[in-house]
Structure 1
Amino acid sequence: MTTPGEGWKTPELRAAEAQVDARFKQAQDLANRLRDTPLPPVPPVDFAAIARQVERAAQERDAPEQLKALKRKVDAGEFTWEDVVSGKAAQDPDVQAMQQENVNKMKQAFQMLREGMAADEIMAAQDPRRHRDDGDENPPDVFTEDKW
């Protein structure tokens, strides 16, 4: 890689340049192989089914506040649940707040995985309802006749 006027380069710099050139060639070769590798077709997403799941979750009494805000907008006709899950309503501030909450939970779950926690432990940590052991599906502040 020596050209006129490069006599000032030290052997270490020349070795570093050679490594960069080699890595760049490897990256180009990999990119070429990937470009020639056919990808499997992406299955269609059933947005309607996902929308039904989100709608059911929004109807729960203990649904997150962000989801309740979306339910109010869907009930008001501003958009549909399918608009929410398909991304058509992505510019809405309440949709963005819900997405940010989901991203925060994913980051938290990833950190817990890195710390060695098992998937069921992570799910229990992120949803306190999952690890109550009193045998009651209602939150502790909801009193039913069997709690008297």
Structure 2
Amino acid sequence: MCVKGPNVTSGYLNRDSSDDFTKDGYFRTGDIVSMDDKGYFRLLDRKKDMILVSGFNVFPNEIESVMLDCEGIIDCAVIGIPDERQGEAVKIYVIPADNNVTKNSIKEFALDNLTGYKCPRHIEFVTELPKSNVGKVLRQKLREKHIADNPQH
């Protein structure tokens, strides 16, 4: 989404903002949106969080929304991780409700409810997700955790 108007910033303090604007002055928000036939916008995700699996765009918010319906998942977050075959693969961090939740049950639920390329190929159980002061999951912290836990990649 790109926006322009008197209420939109003209740049960032002490930072080159040339890449943040189009040639005709529209601000690149970094949001991926869709517009319906009535002209309403729907926020899909942030561009920096989009995962590219075998050339397909995968939005973490969509996967998280579906996977939260899986019995036994209290909370979850999705990131893309490097994959030699597909470019990126979907990894999900899950806070389980109890020990009855298994990686296999999560995989089966995903296969039943998501398109194949959107299904998480990597599942990690955690006790908490890194969140901002307003409760937004900090996916960058999860990417950093993945790199720290997998130094060979």
Question: Normalized against structure 1, the TM-score is what?
Answer: 0.21
Higher strand share: 2
Report which of the two structures shows the higher radius of gyration computed on alpha carbons: 1
